[in-house]
Amino acid sequence: MAMTRKQKRLTLIASAGAVLAIAAGLILFALSDKIVFFYTPSDITKQNIAAGSRVRIGGLVENASVVRDASMNVTFRVTDTETSLTVHYKGLLPDLFREGQGVVAEGVYQGNSDVMADTVLAKHDENYMPKDVADALKKKGVWQGGKTQ
Amino acid sequence: MMVELGHFALIMAFATALIQTILPMWGAIARDPGLAGMARYSAFVTFALVLIAYLALTMAYIGSDFSVVNVAMNSHSTKPLMYKISGVWSNHEGSMLLWVMILVLFAALVALRGGGMPERLLASVLSVQGAIAGAFLLFILLTSNPFLRLADVPMEGQGLNPILEDPGLAIHPPLLYLGYVGFSVAFSFAVGALVHGRIDAVWARFVRPWTLLAWIFLTLGIAMGSYWAYYELGWGGWWFWDPVENASLMPWLMGTALLHSTIVMEKRDALKVWTILLSILTFSLSLLGTFLVRSGVITSVHSFASDPARGVFILGILTLFIGGGLSLFAWRAPSLKQGGLFAPVSREGALVVNNLFLATSAVAVLVGTLYPLVLETINGSKISVGAPYFNLTTVPLFVCLLVLVPFGQSLAWKRGDLMGVGQRLLAAFGIALLAMMATFALTRGGPVAAPLGLGLGVWLIAGSATDIINRCYRRGSSLSAIFERAFGLPRSAWGTALAHAGMGITVIGISATAWGVESLAVVGKHEPLSVGPYTVSLEQAFKRKGEGFREDVAQFSVMEGASARGLIETSKRIHTGREMPTTEAGIVTYGLGQLYASVNEILPDGRVSIRFYWKPLVTLIWGGALIMALGGAISLADRRVRIALSTKTKRASSSNAEAKA
């Protein structure tokens, strides 16, 4: 059975529409469900972030706050000099993780200024700091100058 | 002196690029063959001038001329020659120069090989190439000049970022740029066709080899970058959905769609307007990638020092070419002669489906990459869109696409017989199902996605094999007749089968990551640690000095059951000069899998905190990509594909063009 020109065109449009609809659905769902917001420690307390939400936080690693135990659990405090959060993490920290330096952690907010992180990022080299951190520090007025990138 | 010569050549190149832009286009529009003929010469001259500039900078690097800011910032007199030469593109200015050099190289190659093309088309193609080159040359001269001198000449350069001091630096950027920038040819052809007002199968035949060439390089460049990140960054991951990776993936997805749609256009004279649009979009995504990486709007390992002027400038270039290309498309496309329609169940119908899935997955990646930027601009909120988003959107689209690939490959042109194809693919389906069930039974209790993915990979490989077998095997024919047919198959058939099988191999490698094992521990000497099928134990931990660095080294012995499988060594390096730490991962390949060690710290008491991974079948991820690129190369070697590049058949194709006109 040969299709008419119109039928062929309709089939094409219908299949294109179906694929686009599926894709659009996936994108919208993923954007509503799978994105993570960035907060500074002060934002977390000020905005009353609910316990159990996934967050990305950034700031400086507080001096003398890093505690490691024998089974590779680490806790440290992240501060924006106003408020600070406790971050729990299991695993190896990045090469450039240091006290007093910028850090970004992603994980689940436990309430009570506690974050259970599954990812910790530090700056990549001496000239680079996560942009989120640099912006947050600039806003707080504790930016130490230097090149950001 | 050499440096000033290079600088001067770069300025001259900008001037000749302007000539290359204006005169041939004028000639093409006014139908003045003399002016149109200027295209080829000016393309050659522009290339020669950019080459002189590029070589001058390379000479400054080799000679360690630290009076040049760029050399002083990124090189060191003690660097090995390889890192002096590749150091040229280790920084923003130099890599932009490489970008432009590859662009004008492509223009010169088109000019060299394009003798058989209609004169007006060639003139307008080279004119557009000249315009892109001119815009980027101006960008380099005004905002990113690599030839600037220092008043106070330092005794020594600052050296290369240690992460970049790796053979990967020598290979990854040139490959990636050859791919990225290679798509500019398809863009120029599309604009040329819109100006010229005519697109037909001949146009597709001219543009297809260039698209294929760019696609091969981009495939290799992405695979190389992925492997480099895997072994260099020490995190054990091979894809991070970093915006910069996405920047290279988007043109790859769109370019793969373009590659397939040009086939339809060439064979069936259909999908014309769509192919033109894809050509514009693919290079637009390349430009967008350049913008994302070079403007500093995103931060990543790839973004070098940047200032806002550069971002605005590249954004201007981006707007000019993408906006210009799309406006021209909107204006001219309706006047182009539409291609024919065709039956939904046919090879061309299947290629349309391929295009739909590839283009929508490119859009999904685009949305995820740009959404954080857009949202921050609109309301200032900062978000991160990571692996969960990209996996959720691209994986389902890709699974649908890949399930359909063997059908498309086996369908005939014009009118396919779905039942017949289903019967022919029954064996392939059985093999894939069997592989899936067997794996499922063997890894019971393990992740479910892995056997499913493995089955999908086997389906692609078996589907490709089926296609080749069906083309060679006839009932009752002798073995020698079968071999004869196999040798007689067009190379593009082998190329297609290999590329699709390569995709299947990559899919198996990716699926197998679900079986990966990670062991994190603090271990003392000879304390065993089990990692998947292996047991490792610390043999020694010591300090060592190397050229330009000092390091803490941990050596482990590897046992499989009772048999020794050698040593694995990983270290934490501090690079002197920059005092920058890096982790040198230890990687040993067993079969198709890899054991991956990454040391965190050697504690004062001699114990070592360490991370081990066992990654079964992981090498298939990159192996599959290499096979895909090989498939592309074999297709490119096909006489029918290369026809546009061949000087011998020049006359044949140009008379063909006239006949069609």
DSSP codes of every residue in B244-268: HHHHHHHHHHHHHHHHHHHHHHHHH
Average pLDDT over residues B2-13: 96
All residues of chain A having their beta carbon less than 8 Å from the beta carbon of residue B352 are: 12, 15-16
| B161/A125 touch (CB, cutoff 8 Å), yes or no | yes
Q: Taking 70 as the threshold, does the pLDDT of residue B388 lie above it?
A: yes
| B396/A16 touch (CB, cutoff 8 Å), yes or no | no
Phi-psi region of B458 (alpha: psi -120 to 50; beta: other; left: phi over 0): alpha
Inter-helix orientation angle B119-143/B33-62, to 10°: 40
Closest CA to B346 of B392, B415, B288: B415
Better-predicted residue by pLDDT, B580 or A41? A41
Number of domains making up chain A:
2
In a domain, A148, yes or no: no
pLDDT at residue B475, as a whole number: 78
Q: What are phi and psi of B557, to 5 degrees?
A: -95, 150
Helix H or strand E segment including A107: strand A102-111
Q: Does B519 touch chain A (CB under 8 A)?
A: no
Q: Taking 70 as the threshold, does the pLDDT of residue B428 lie above it?
A: yes
Question: Does residue B413 sit in helix, strand or coil?
Answer: coil
All residues of chain A having their beta carbon less than 8 Å from the beta carbon of residue B572 are: 95
In a domain, A79, yes or no: yes
Is residue B511 within 8 A of residue B454, CB to CB? The reply is yes
All residues of chain B having their beta carbon less than 8 Å from the beta carbon of residue A3 are: 343-344
In a domain, A50, yes or no: yes
What would the two tokens of residue B332 be? 């001219």
CB < 8 Å from A in window 275-314 of B:
296, 298-301, 303-306
Is residue B178 within 8 A of residue B251, CB to CB? The reply is no
| Same domain flag for A99 and A118 | yes
Average pLDDT over residues B115-135: 92
What would the two tokens of residue A59 be? 């700031």
Q: Residue B519 gets which letter from DSSP?
A: E
The residue of chain B with its CA nearest to that of A72 is: B521
pLDDT at residue B358, as a whole number: 96
Question: Chains A, B: CB contacts under 8 A, how many?
Answer: 127
B645 CA: distance to closest CA in chain A (Å): 34
Q: pLDDT confidence of B548, banded at 50, 70, 90?
A: confident
Chain-centroid distance, C-alpha B573: 30
Average pLDDT over residues B77-98: 91
pLDDT at residue A14, as a whole number: 85
Better-predicted residue by pLDDT, B88 or B337? B88
| Same domain flag for A44 and A29 | no
CA–CA separation, A34 vs A28, rounded Å?
10
Q: What are phi and psi of A55, to 5 degrees?
A: -135, 160
pLDDT at residue B135, as a whole number: 97
- Cross-strand bridge partners of residue A119: A106
What would the two tokens of residue B402 be? 């890949």
Contacting residues for B562 by C-beta, under 8 A, at least 6 apart = none
| Same domain flag for A26 and A54 | no
The whole-model pTM stands at 0.91
Better-predicted residue by pLDDT, B199 or B500? B500
In a domain, A5, yes or no: yes
| Same domain flag for A28 and A79 | no
pLDDT at residue B384, as a whole number: 83
What would the two tokens of residue B179 be? 């791919």
Is residue B405 within 8 A of residue B496, CB to CB? The reply is no
Is residue B392 within 8 A of residue A34, CB to CB? The reply is yes
Q: Does A12 touch chain B (CB under 8 A)?
A: yes
| Same domain flag for A4 and A53 | no
Cβ contacts of B418-425, under 8 Å, gap ≥ 24: B418/B345, B424/B466, B424/B470, B425/B463, B425/B466
DSSP codes of every residue in B177-219: HHHHHHHHHHHHHHHHHHHHT---HHHHHHHHHHHHHHHHHHH
Amino acid identity of B56?
A
pLDDT at residue B504, as a whole number: 97
Helix H or strand E segment including A77: strand A73-79
Closest CA to B616 of B439, B432, B392: B439
| Same domain flag for A46 and A110 | yes
B239 CA: distance to closest CA in chain A (Å): 15
| Same domain flag for A11 and A50 | no
Q: pLDDT confidence of A148, banded at 50, 70, 90?
A: very low
In a domain, A9, yes or no: yes
Q: Exposed, middle or buried: residue B483 (CB in 10 Å: 0-12, 13-18, 19+)?
A: exposed
| Same domain flag for A56 and A108 | yes
| A16/B303 touch (CB, cutoff 8 Å), yes or no | no
| A72/B234 touch (CB, cutoff 8 Å), yes or no | no
Contacting residues for B379 by C-beta, under 8 A, at least 6 apart = none
Sign of CA dihedral A120, B160, B587, B597: negative
ipTM of the complex: 0.80
CA–CA separation, A14 vs A23, rounded Å?
14
Q: How far is CA B588 from CA B524, B566, B585, in A?
A: 22, 9, 10
> pLDDT (tens digit, 9 = 90+) per residue, B349-358?
899 999 999 9
Q: Taking 80 as the threshold, does the pLDDT of residue A149 lie above it?
A: no
Among A32-46, B263-277, B634-648, which is the least confidently predicted range?
B634-648
Average pLDDT over residues B17-42: 91
Q: Provide the mean pLDDT of chain B.
A: 89
Q: pLDDT confidence of A69, banded at 50, 70, 90?
A: confident
pLDDT at residue B603, as a whole number: 85
In a domain, A146, yes or no: no
pLDDT at residue B307, as a whole number: 64
Q: pLDDT confidence of A130, banded at 50, 70, 90?
A: low
| Same domain flag for A31 and A43 | no
Domain that holds residue A131: 37-140
Q: pLDDT confidence of B262, banded at 50, 70, 90?
A: very high
Q: Does B234 touch chain A (CB under 8 A)?
A: yes
The residue of chain B with its CA nearest to that of A2 is: B343
pLDDT at residue A123, as a whole number: 60
CA–CA separation, B359 vs B401, rounded Å?
11
| Same domain flag for A13 and A54 | no
Q: How far is CA B562 from CA A26, B523, B538, B559, in A?
A: 49, 20, 16, 6
Q: pLDDT confidence of B123, banded at 50, 70, 90?
A: very high
Contacting residues for B61 by C-beta, under 8 A, at least 6 apart = B71, B75, B84, B85, B87, B88
Q: Taking 70 as the threshold, does the pLDDT of residue B640 lie above it?
A: no
pLDDT at residue B642, as a whole number: 55
* Other CB atoms within 10 A of residue B323 CB: 11
Radius of gyration, CA atoms only, chain A: 22
pLDDT at residue B281, as a whole number: 96
Question: Does residue B341 sit in helix, strand or coil?
Answer: coil
- CATH number of the domain enclosing A96: 2.40.50.140
Tell me the percentage of chain A whose pLDDT exceeds 70. Answer: 80
Contacting residues for A138 by C-beta, under 8 A, at least 6 apart = none
Q: pLDDT confidence of B648, banded at 50, 70, 90?
A: very low
| A16/B520 touch (CB, cutoff 8 Å), yes or no | no
| Same domain flag for A129 and A72 | yes
Is residue A147 within 8 A of residue A127, CB to CB? The reply is yes
| A125/B305 touch (CB, cutoff 8 Å), yes or no | no
In a domain, A100, yes or no: yes
Question: Which residue from A72, A135, A149 is facing B303, i.e. has the nearest CB?
Answer: A149
Place of tokens 């740009």: B370
pLDDT at residue B628, as a whole number: 98
| Same domain flag for A51 and A61 | yes
All residues of chain B having their beta carbon less than 8 Å from the beta carbon of residue A23 are: 360-361, 363-364, 393, 397
Q: Taking 90 as the threshold, does the pLDDT of residue A35 lie above it?
A: no
| B385/A31 touch (CB, cutoff 8 Å), yes or no | yes
Q: Does B368 touch chain A (CB under 8 A)?
A: yes
* Strands, E assignment, B26-107: none
| B396/A22 touch (CB, cutoff 8 Å), yes or no | yes
Tell me the percentage of chain B whose pLDDT exceeds 70. Answer: 94
> pLDDT (tens digit, 9 = 90+) per residue, A87-106?
999 887 887 788 888 888 88
Q: Determine which of A39, A40, A128 to mutate to test the interface with B (most B C-beta atoms within 10 Å).
A: A128
